[in-house]
Structure formats: structure tokens, C-alpha cells
Chains A and B, each alone.
Chain A
């Protein structure tokens, strides 16, 4: 259901202010969403003054700098720092993206950092993605075949090209958590990330379960809650187009 306002326990309060101690003249304010599960308090926004003269270019570098030099208590996910693993997906300057590929110079004014939208927060910038992973599992993201052959399952260049723009998805969840339909119906609507994955298996020439896959996804709530708002494609840090993938599934269903 559409619920515009945040529940009472999620209302964001004003937090601590960390003043710059380096005496640098090149200071930027960074506002970060904080929530500590051990206190029982509401989430808050802490503000950090950061010396930008000694900070590398990406938002993740900025977070690392804050964690290393100002406040070690801050929690966020990160791993590869090269836009491959998808761990550091978060909301920066009102838009979802990967902190490791987003240059902070692109952000004007204060830098606002929130967890991915409309998720249960586990701590600070870490959201709970277990629903999304369950939904991902529900599309059975693996090759399914019934015919048994001893030979290699060969794919033509043309058929392989159909997977371009789909296989690159790193499941960072930037798209799904940017989607208002997913915000309001995230328990039933599969969301752009999972639907893009569903399409990736539907059009794989080696898969023999296409009909069943299409039948399974053809659902008022699972698929057709997509109203082409385009937030997903706008958010994708890998430049993929989930909205187009969803439209392709709809088109396949309408023409098959």
C-alpha cells in the first residue's frame, strides 16, 4: 500500500555534529543517516565536516575517510571498490548508486548519504535485502533443460548478443529500491532487478523452460506493477535498462 509518511519509529532526527579538527580551508559537510540497533532511539542524521584536500575522488573514499579519521562507529557495506560487487549501493544526493563509482565532485552543496530507500535498516547505511534475494530465488536464476545431450550446449553469436545489457547486472539493488512501485508493493511486485534477471533467463537460447518462466511471471502484481516510471534505468550504476527488459517481457506475453 502507498504510505507516504515514515512510521513513527523511522522519523529521522537531528544528530551529532562533528566539527573539523584539521583546520583545513577546503571543508565539505557530509550528512549521514545513522541508526544504532542497540539504543532503541530513532534514526538521526549526523553531520561531519571533512577536509577535502586529503580525500580521494569517490563517495566511498569519503566514507572511508570519515570511518578512519573521524567516527569509527559508522557502518556500511563495501568490498571491491571498483563497481563490480555492488556492496556499497546507497542513496547519495537523492539518487541511488554505488558509492565507489560516484564522484563526490558531482554533488553540489552538502553531501547527503542515506541507505537504499524503503528497506528495513539493520544499522546505519545497511539495509535488509532478504526479500529481494528471496524474490531473486523465485525466478530460478539458472539454466533449466529437460533434453539430455552428451554434447556441449552451443549458443550462436546472435543469441549470445541477446544477453548483453542483462548479464552485466551485479544485483546491487539500486534500481529496485529506487522504484516507487517497489516501495508500495515490494512484498508482491518483483521489482526491476529481479525482473531484469527473469528476462535474462527467459531469452537465453539454451534455456528450455521459457514458457513456464513466462507463465510464472505473468502476474498482475509480480510484473504489471511496473508503470514505466523509469527510476530504475535512471539509477542503474552499470548503465543497464531494467525498464526496457520489463517492457520486453510484457511484449513477449502480449505477442505469444
Chain B
């Protein structure tokens, strides 16, 4: 009889709030960063294969899609770093009050965008 009983709705009806949004984004950016680190390795290897190979990456990264890619890349890392700091505090048992989690969650979200702008706009400052 139990086999035919329906499953009550879950993610379809449950409200999102700051902490659950940050949590799922932490998971997604974690997976994205995994693939991005592979991209960084290939990019670094291109140096090894000479100027021509590196040039391909340069052209890609200077295209509009490439710029979009790099900004998304920076945001994904920025988000992951800030969210990870939040997790460190949790790991030592701090910041579990509902209000605190809401504030730190918002800090992670807005902080990730601010950090992205800071990092992207400082790219010219490096002597590359």
C-alpha cells in the first residue's frame, strides 16, 4: 500500500531564503571552480607549447565572450572564497544565530560582486 502513496511536494513549494541560496551557490561555484582550475592548467601549459598556443588563449580572452567568461570566473572564485570563510566560522561554532546567518549570507552575496569588480578593474595595475 505504501508503494502507491504519493510523495509530498518539496523543493517545488519550499521558500528560498538567504542561507539556502548561498548554500546552493556555494555548491555550484565549487563544481564550476573545479573545471576552471583545469582551464587554468591548460592555459599555463600553453606557455610551454610556445607563443602560438598562448596567442589562441589571448584572442579568446580578449573577445567579448572571453571577457564575460573571465568575469564569471572571478565571481565564481570570489563567491567561493567568501562563502568558505563563512563556513570556517561555522566550523568553530560561531555565527549560527538566524540574524547573523542572514547578515553574513548577504555579505557573501554582495561581497562577491564587489570583490569581482575590484579584481577585474585592478587587472591593468599588474605589470603583465
Could you tell me which A residues sit within 8 Å of B by CB distance?
4, 6-7, 9-10, 12, 33, 35, 37, 40, 42-43, 91, 93-95, 112, 114-122, 127-128, 178, 180, 183, 227-231, 233-234, 241, 243-244, 247-248, 250-251, 254
Contact = CB atoms under 8 A, between A and B. Distances in A.
Contacts of A122: 5
Contact of B7 (A95, A119, A248, A250): A119
Contacts of A12: 9
A40 B92 CA distance: 50
Nearest to A95: B15
Given A114-B9, A183-B10, A247-B93, 8 more contacts: A6-B12, A33-B9, A37-B4, A94-B15, A115-B8, A234-B98, A241-B96, A251-B93
Given A178-B14, A230-B101, A40 B23 contact: no
Contacts of B97: 241
Contacts of A43: 6
A38 B27 CA distance: 42
Nearest to B8: A115
Contacts of B11: 4, 117, 180, 183
B14 A227 contact: no
A222 to B, nearest CB: 18
Interface of B: 1-2, 4-15, 17, 19-20, 23, 27, 87, 90-93, 96-98, 101
Contacts of A243: 96
Lowest 7 CB-CB distances: which A-B pairs, in order?
Answer: A94-B15, A230-B19, A10-B6, A117-B10, A244-B96, A118-B10, A115-B8
Contacts of A114: 8-9, 13
A245 B5 CA distance: 33
A74 to B, nearest CB: 15
Nearest to B18: A230
Contact of B13 (A42, A117, A227, A250): A117
Given A95-B15, A228-B87, A229-B19, A120 B96 contact: no
A235 B79 CA distance: 26
A250 B2 CA distance: 35
A10 B10 CA distance: 11
Given A120-B2, A180-B20, A233 B98 contact: yes
A49 to B, nearest CB: 21
Nearest to B21: A229
Nearest to A230: B19
A228 B5 contact: no
Contacts of A94: 13-15
B13 A91 contact: yes
Contact of B8 (A33, A227, A234): A33
Contacts of A231: 14, 17, 19-20
B6 A42 contact: yes
15 contacts: A6-B7, A40-B4, A93-B15, A117-B10, A118-B7, A119-B7, A120-B7, A231-B14, A233-B96, A243-B96, A244-B93, A247-B90, A250-B91, A251-B91, A254-B91
B23 A117 contact: no
Nearest to B101: A230
Contact of B17 (A42, A227, A234, A250): A234
A243 B11 CA distance: 19
Contacts of B6: 6-7, 9-10, 35, 42-43, 120-121
Nearest to B23: A229
B2 A128 contact: yes
Contacts of B14: 91, 94-95, 117, 178, 231
